[in-house]
Amino acid sequence: MADQPETFKDKFGNAVGKFSGSRFVRAIMAAGYSVITFSIIGAIFLILTVLPQAFPIPGFATWYAGTIGRFTNMFQVIYNSTMGILALVFSGTFTYTYTQIYHEEENIDVVPVDGLMMFLMAMFITVPQLVWKNGSVQFVQSLNKLNIIGGGYAVSTSGITRIASVGIFTGLVVGWLTVQIYRFTIKHNWRIKMPDSVPAGVANSFSALIPGFCVAFVVGAINLALVIAGTDIFKVLYIPFSFISNIADTWWGFLVIIFLIHLLWWFGIHGATIMSSFYTPIVLANMAANVNGANHFFAGDPMNAFVIIGGSGATLGMAIWLSFRAKSAQLSSIGKVEIVPAIFNINEPILFGLPIVYNVQLAIPFICAPLVSGIVGYIAVTTGLVHKIILQQPWPTPVGLSGFLATASWEGAVLSIFCAFVAFLVWYPFIRHYDRTILKKEQAAAAAEK
């Protein structure tokens, strides 16, 4: 029998599957997970600085100012020590993981720690602001209150500017370049080999000498050429990052992201993983900007706070309905299995057990419910009805608490619950009809057995 021609669905699934399994994407996902710990630590101390906003109770602000409020600058220092070095944490973890993946899968003698150290060196080559003046490279100096630069380093109360969230995209590119140069030099044996009797630590330091020099030379040469041209690596790389960030922060850009997440999921591909590999740097940068006075909706983790509550498809309300109201034995049992995981935004039992994947009857609510809850959340935050997002809550945080943590306000908690309810309203007619369809099949099967 001749082989069946590959369908578009197969081709699409294979292409996206290869991308999601690529070394670059896997390294970015590892970097995203690493930031969670730092963002939670930073969030705890940021909450301590915004308690009067989170609890607008009469007399609380006065009590706060005379007690906890006296330590806000120290809280800010701790926050800066997490979110203020976000580019180093995120891109450093990316580089370490990326190097490790090449070491394991290509079986080449690259050392993850050496890759990380080379990245830090290369990253700090891009941090100082330089100009070409009077035939030489000079450091930028500025004492303007809005733009304080000393020895080329732009600083603020948040620390060194370029190693914070605005430097994530630059860090990713520099990290990728570092790993590729390191990999190239090792594969072509451009390194100093020491005798076997030399301790491993000493041998590794000499082995990394030539690759490290190549990284420094290439990054330094690129930056020098751009400085002579009137710019630098950071500024050049920030242009596309800023452009993409601006698009993602619009209502239509945000909805496109939600749509693509769920379209991919419907094909059985983890859409949240794919899309978050693109937007993670953006939401982290926007969250830090919100703390400093900006007003971005697409910041922190708006998805799990206001959009996909209960998991992709915003299925929390639907899972609760299945548990208590479904008539068919199949859907009722799935609901009872799913209800607890759904509280923590985990819904694989529904996605593959209902199923939703490849199910034409449930495609519309699966895609439209999160779009509707996303619109509600976007309008509420951007109009000022609900406080802007300033924290990144852990993604399994239950409904209500997730909105409170994200915005450090009770309004955020209410909005989170309301978004979950709105999503259920979209789901209700479809899941009710689907339940009746399954019930009829079960009744027909039972009658046939008699």
In a domain, 223, yes or no: yes
In a domain, 3, yes or no: no
In a domain, 347, yes or no: yes
Q: Assess whether 237 and 263 both reside in one domain.
A: no
In angstroms, the CA 406 to CA 379 distance is 16
Q: What is the pLDDT of residue 1?
A: 45
In a domain, 7, yes or no: no
Q: Assess whether 442 and 424 both reside in one domain.
A: yes
Domain end point (choices 172, 207, 242)? 242
Domain end point (choices 242, 259, 284)? 242
Q: Assess whether 392 and 311 both reside in one domain.
A: yes
Q: Assess whether 186 and 233 both reside in one domain.
A: yes
For the chain, the domain total comes to 2
Q: What is the pLDDT of residue 59?
A: 83
Strand order in the sheet with 159-160: 142-144, 147-150, 153-156, 159-160
Q: Assess whether 144 and 259 both reside in one domain.
A: no
Q: Assess whether 324 and 401 both reside in one domain.
A: yes
Q: What is the pLDDT of residue 9?
A: 61
In angstroms, the CA 353 to CA 331 distance is 9
In a domain, 210, yes or no: yes
In a domain, 1, yes or no: no
Q: Assess whether 265 and 157 both reside in one domain.
A: no
Length of the chain: 450
Cα Rg, the chain, nearest whole Å = 26
Q: Assess whether 108 and 215 both reside in one domain.
A: yes
Q: What is the pLDDT of residue 417?
A: 96
In a domain, 2, yes or no: no
| Stretches in the chain below the pLDDT threshold 70 | 1-10, 12-13, 16-17, 54, 146, 194, 196-198, 200-205, 450
Q: Assess whether 133 and 23 both reside in one domain.
A: yes
Q: What is the pLDDT of residue 146?
A: 65
The torsion defined by the Cα of 71, 73, 78 and 79, in degrees rounded to 10, comes to 120
Q: What is the pLDDT of residue 12?
A: 64
Q: Assess whether 196 and 332 both reside in one domain.
A: no
Question: Among candidates 314, 112, 126, 101, which has minimal Cα distance to 208?
Answer: 112
Q: Are strands 153-156 and 159-160 parallel, antiparallel or unpaired?
A: antiparallel
What domain range is 260 assigned to? 249-449
Domain end point (choices 211, 242, 273)? 242
Q: What is the pLDDT of residue 6?
A: 66
In angstroms, the CA 360 to CA 358 distance is 6
Q: What is the pLDDT of residue 309?
A: 93
In a domain, 23, yes or no: yes
